[in-house]
Amino acid sequence: MPQDKVLSVNNLAINFKTDNGILHAVRDISFDLNRGETLCIVGESGSGKSVTSKAIMGILANNAIIESGNIMYRGENLLEVSEDEFYKIRGHKIGMIFQDPLSSLNPIVRIGKQITEAMLINSDKLKIMYSDLISDDLIRYKNTLAKMNIEITNERKKLEAYIAEVKAKENASAQERAADRNAIKEKKLAFKEFEKKTREKYAQRAKELKAVLEQTEQKAKQQVKEYKEKVTAEYKAKLAELEKKLAAASGEQKKKISQEIEEEKLAFTNKLKITKAEAKKRALEIMREVGIPEPERRFKQFPFEFSGGMRQRIVIAIALTASPEILICDEPTTALDVTIQAQILELINRIKAERNLSCIFITHDLGVVANMADRVAVMYAGKIVEYGTAEEIFYDPKHPYTWALLSSIPDVDSKEKLEAIPGTPPNMIYPPKGDAFAARSRYAMNIDYREEPPMFKISDTHYAATWLLDPHAPKVEMPKIVSERIRISLEEDKGDE
């Protein structure tokens, strides 16, 4: 069945400039998010999960350098769109929930007010209508400028990184230093030239697009005005009719018509923008939707008066006021205890199904993955080392790192944690050659230390980057612990049927 892609990440590589050198946080990853599915990204601490989600949200730290790749959403590369447009997409279409709900709530504003305000911003009809009408042209114009700035900034960052690297060199001879100084000078000149050319290239295009935008803005203003006039005229006519009826009526009839008039007034305001009262009503509804008991009472409380689990529900509620299409959850339950964690996972699953959301769910816990995922991407040292459907990852894992993760899930029945993964993840300033997991893997072969394994295809949906899948590799079996668990759980599944 062909899948409907909502988001697609292609060959993304992200570095950070640090005092100790360039850190390679994300190294050439690609994945798609299909409509209505949950894709889990799983991996140990430092594997690049949060950096990936932050890149999608456009909230990478300042020292980030996007080395290569793109993130495509609705025909736009999110890495190239302007801040305004990004904000719009981020606020409206892609919502994010973080590990620590406190950081996304304002500690000194009552919960109800925070949700109501988000609701008001996201429901101003005339404003939304106007910005929808001009958005295509506005995006095109802004993005032209943004693309120019991004191209220049990226080139500048590369230059700065180069200079930092050269300066950090120890025991260089005088001769080498002189050569380096020359190289820097040349690179600086090349950058100046690049900047000039790039600005020229974009200037003409930006001018044309601005003219188009100004025309569209005029038209949009007119359209919004006409809409408002039409709605107002309809309302006035209806009101006049009802008032005439009211004058002729008596008793019960009169009461009924008065009520109709009130309803008509409310419907009218809601057609233009929602009132505070309506926003509050919807805020309470959404609090109920995310499972806050006694929302009327909770409405007036401050974030500190909520438990961790309830705060996370509030954060989810605020994200929902924008009716997002994609929800990114970065370890949203890590700070919660196990029972509360299960409730929040259930909530996310329910909302996802009811609102037909697509979800990227980030966790280091394969137990959580089992509850959430349609598909799974396993990340190690900035790379996706295996991806497949949840079934393929749990019942037919191929990468030694996936085996190691699977062996380390505590057994639900015996509660024993079977095997911790030996060793520590590599220092990403000096990412290892070949298969980055080799040093910690008892299945490592010589080639693993020399050459990077390609993504071997196992099925149309299942891929893994391990030399064990090479036709020349010796046949090895996955660890007994893993195969035993798979066998037991398959038998249990049979028993359930």
Ligand X SMILES: Nc1ncnc2c1ncn2[C@@H]1O[C@H](COP(=O)(O)OP(=O)(O)OP(=O)(O)O)[C@@H](O)[C@H]1O
Any contact of residue 12 with ligand X (CB under 6 A)? no
C-alpha–C-alpha distance, residues 314 and 292, integer Å: 8
**Between 50 and 104, whose beta carbon lies closer to Mg ion?**
50
Task: Name the binder of 61 from Mg ion, ligand X, none, CB < 5-8 A by kind.
Answer: ligand X
Per-residue x/- marks for Mg ion, 161-190, CB under 5 A? Answer: ------------------------------
- Name residues contacting ligand X, limited to 234-273 (CB under 6 A): none
Any contact of residue 98 with ligand X (CB under 6 A)? no
Backbone angles phi, psi at 243, to 5 degrees: -70, -35
**Between 361 and 467, whose beta carbon lies closer to ligand X?**
361
Backbone angles phi, psi at 474, to 5 degrees: -65, 155
Q: How far is the CB of 46 from ligand X (least distance, A)?
A: 4
Terminus-to-terminus CA distance in the chain, angstroms?
A: 26
**Between 280 and 383, whose beta carbon lies closer to ligand X?**
383
Any contact of residue 40 with ligand X (CB under 6 A)? no
Residue nearest to Mg ion (CB): 50
Q: How far is the CB of 315 from Mg ion (least distance, A)?
A: 16
β-partners of residue 10 are 70
Please identify which residue in 48, 95, 112, 291 interacts with ligand X, judged by CB under 6 A. Answer: 48
Please identify which residue in 10, 30, 50, 408 interacts with Mg ion, judged by CB under 5 A. Answer: 50
C-alpha–C-alpha distance, residues 166 and 125, integer Å: 55
Task: Name the binder of 388 from Mg ion, ligand X, none, CB < 5-8 A by kind.
Answer: none
Task: Name the binder of 20 from Mg ion, ligand X, none, CB < 5-8 A by kind.
Answer: none
C-alpha–C-alpha distance, residues 347 and 341, integer Å: 10
C-alpha–C-alpha distance, residues 323 and 333, integer Å: 22
Backbone angles phi, psi at 23, to 5 degrees: -100, 125
Q: How far is the CB of 466 from Mg ion (least distance, A)?
A: 24
Please identify which residue in 22, 46, 130, 311 interacts with ligand X, judged by CB under 6 A. Answer: 46
Task: Name the binder of 397 from Mg ion, ligand X, none, CB < 5-8 A by kind.
Answer: none
- Name residues contacting ligand X, limited to 392-431 (CB under 6 A): 428
Q: How far is the CB of 438 from ligand X (least distance, A)?
A: 19
Stretch that binds ligand X, among 17-25, 82-90, 268-276, 312-320 (CB under 6 A): 17-25
**Between 23 and 66, whose beta carbon lies closer to ligand X?**
23
Task: Name the binder of 51 from Mg ion, ligand X, none, CB < 5-8 A by kind.
Answer: ligand X
Q: How far is the CB of 42 from ligand X (least distance, A)?
A: 9
Any contact of residue 23 with ligand X (CB under 6 A)? yes
Q: How many residues bind Mg ion (CB under 5 A)?
A: 1
Per-residue x/- marks for ligand X, 353-392, CB under 6 A? Answer: -----------x----------------------------
Any contact of residue 45 with ligand X (CB under 6 A)? yes
Q: Torsion over CA of 440, 442, 443 and 445, rounded to 10 degrees?
A: 70
Residues with Cβ within 8 Å of residue 398, at least 6 apart in sequence: 386, 456, 458, 462, 464, 466, 468, 469
Task: Name the binder of 103 from ligand X, Mg ion, none, CB < 5-8 A by kind.
Answer: none
Task: Name the binder of 437 from Mg ion, ligand X, none, CB < 5-8 A by kind.
Answer: none
Any contact of residue 108 with ligand X (CB under 6 A)? no
C-alpha–C-alpha distance, residues 91 and 75, integer Å: 18
**Between 51 and 351, whose beta carbon lies closer to ligand X?**
51
Q: How far is the CB of 66 from ligand X (least distance, A)?
A: 13
**Between 30 and 50, whose beta carbon lies closer to ligand X?**
50
Answer whether 301's CB lies under 8 Å from 111's CB.
yes
- Residue at 389: amino acid letter: T
Name the residues that contact Mg ion, by CB under 5 A: 50
Residues that bind ligand X (CB under 6 A): 16, 18, 23, 25, 43, 45-51, 61, 63, 364, 428
